[in-house]
Amino acid sequence: MEVKAHRYPTEFGDITMVRLVNAHGAAVTLSSLGAGILAVEVPDARGEIANVALAYRNPADYMSDGPTMGKTAGRYANRIAFGRFTLDGRRYQLDTNLPPHHLHGGAGGFQNRIWHTELLSNGVRFTLHSPDGEEHYPAAVDAVVEYRWSDDNELSIMLEATSDAPTVVNLTNHTYWNLDGADSGCALDQTLRLRASRWLPTDETLIPTGEMAPVAGTPMDFTSPKRVGADIEADFPPLRYGKGYDNCWVLDREVTETTESDGARVIREHAMVRDAVELTAARSGRRLRIDTDQPGVQVYTGNWLAGSAPNLSGRSYADYDGVAIEAQGLPDAPNQPGFPSQRLDPGTPMIRTICYRFDCVR
């Protein structure tokens, strides 16, 4: 594995960019700004290598960008209703940077910070300290994002957070994918499958209602492979709210029932969901499969990409040029007692894994 790093000076500090090249010439480029992905270069069915992660031409343009392109969103990815939550009887008010709600940890979220960089033999470890009260969150948090790239074209991400007091954390990667090539145009003809039989209905501001609804019989059903854009113009309120898909699905988990020594029956969920997501491009033959132990997946079809910073082709992306697939905790979980908890306590690290596996289907 070839691991190389170089500094890119900007007005807000030096960015470290790290390039990982495996034995077959497939490569990943990562950035200390937002602990993000700048490029994933993998072969198509003809063996031609191209970048499939949407990217800007200028590394500095990732700072405070609207799309959160490729970066690690936090301290709480996705939305918290009205920026408010209660923890141990105390109420906290966060900034409402997406009025009237809080999104991706606020304007000073993890995605807009320069992380410390440590090179590994086959990857990189980014670390960040977030002090108590930053963006009005309780507790100091230390975060780690560790990327590893393999000769089998697997990019694994380990997300870790520890704290000195109770708080809430939700970390995810926010890369937009286009498997025909990052600058190849609309991605809606690519095929998506989700291992998820339930999704989270929302109000018109995309805040979950608390229900976990079945996908069957709705445009939210991706349990069998379906074109991303097949139903995007359906007369279905959630698709009108966001001008396309910007919704969270609850992953189906294999469960086992065990009997404790006292005779009580306990249902346990297996942590990792293999092939939780599969995205395929018929034109290039590339396939992306995602394994994760996160409880949900937010799918965002790039409905507001127009007007973003210039890409490597020198133009701005158009709406729907890429699909963000964000394995994460459920949105607004601090206000939804029926959702898996995103609480973080001292002495109990929160560790989550996302693995992107690339190959070809013909």
For the ranges 124-133, 231-240, 266-275, which has the lowest average pLDDT? 266-275
End-to-end distance of the chain based on CA atoms, in angstroms? 27
Of 2, 174, 233, 270, the active-site residue reads 174
Whether the Cβ atoms of residue 34 and residue 110 lie closer than 8 Å to each other: yes
Query: Could you say which DSSP state residue 255 is in?
Result: E
Mean pLDDT in residue range 229-254: 95
Q: How far apart are CA 174 and CA 52, in angstroms?
A: 14
pLDDT of residue 253: 85
How many domains are there within the chain? 1
Q: For residue 351, give every residue at least 6 positions away whose Cβ sits within 8 Å of its Cβ, in sequence order, or none.
A: 158, 159, 160
Known catalytic membership, residue 174: yes
**Banded model confidence at residue 274, pLDDT cuts 50, 70, 90:** very high
For the ranges 196-210, 217-231, 270-284, which has the lowest average pLDDT? 270-284
Q: Report pLDDT digits (tens) over 84-137.
A: 999 999 999 999 999 999 999 999 999 999 999 999 999 999 999 999 999 999
Two structure tokens written together for 140? 């100091």
- Percent of the chain at pLDDT exceeding 90: 94
Please calculate the CA angle 35-37-41 and round it to the nearest 5 degrees: 155
CB-count exposure of residue 261 (10 Å: 0-12, 13-18, 19+): exposed
State the average pLDDT for the chain: 95
CATH number, domain containing residue 178: 2.70.98.10
Give this prediction's pTM: 0.95
pLDDT of residue 259: 59
Q: Which parts of 105-149 are beta strand (E)?
A: 116-119, 123-130, 141-149
Of 134, 135, 278, 326, the active-site residue reads 326
pLDDT of residue 362: 74
**Banded model confidence at residue 260, pLDDT cuts 50, 70, 90:** low
**Banded model confidence at residue 271, pLDDT cuts 50, 70, 90:** confident
Mean pLDDT in residue range 151-171: 98
Q: Report pLDDT digits (tens) over 36-77.
A: 999 999 999 999 999 999 999 999 999 999 999 999 999 999
DSSP alpha helix (H) spans, 182-305: 237-241
Mean pLDDT in residue range 4-17: 96
pLDDT at residue 266 above 80?
no
Q: How far apart are CA 320 and CA 251, in angstroms?
A: 24
Q: Report pLDDT digits (tens) over 343-361.
A: 999 999 999 999 999 999 9
Instruction: Please name which of 297, 298, 307, 303 lies closest in space to residue 322, comparing C-alpha atoms.
Output: 303
pLDDT of residue 41: 98
pLDDT at residue 3 above 90?
yes
Q: Report pLDDT digits (tens) over 280-337.
A: 999 999 999 999 999 999 999 999 999 999 999 999 999 999 999 999 999 999 999 9
Known catalytic membership, residue 129: no
**Banded model confidence at residue 205, pLDDT cuts 50, 70, 90:** very high
Q: Report pLDDT digits (tens) over 18-47.
A: 999 999 999 999 999 999 999 999 999 999
Whether the Cβ atoms of residue 324 and residue 303 lie closer than 8 Å to each other: no
* Domain hosting residue 91, numbered range: 2-360
DSSP string, 202-213: B-TTS-B-S--E
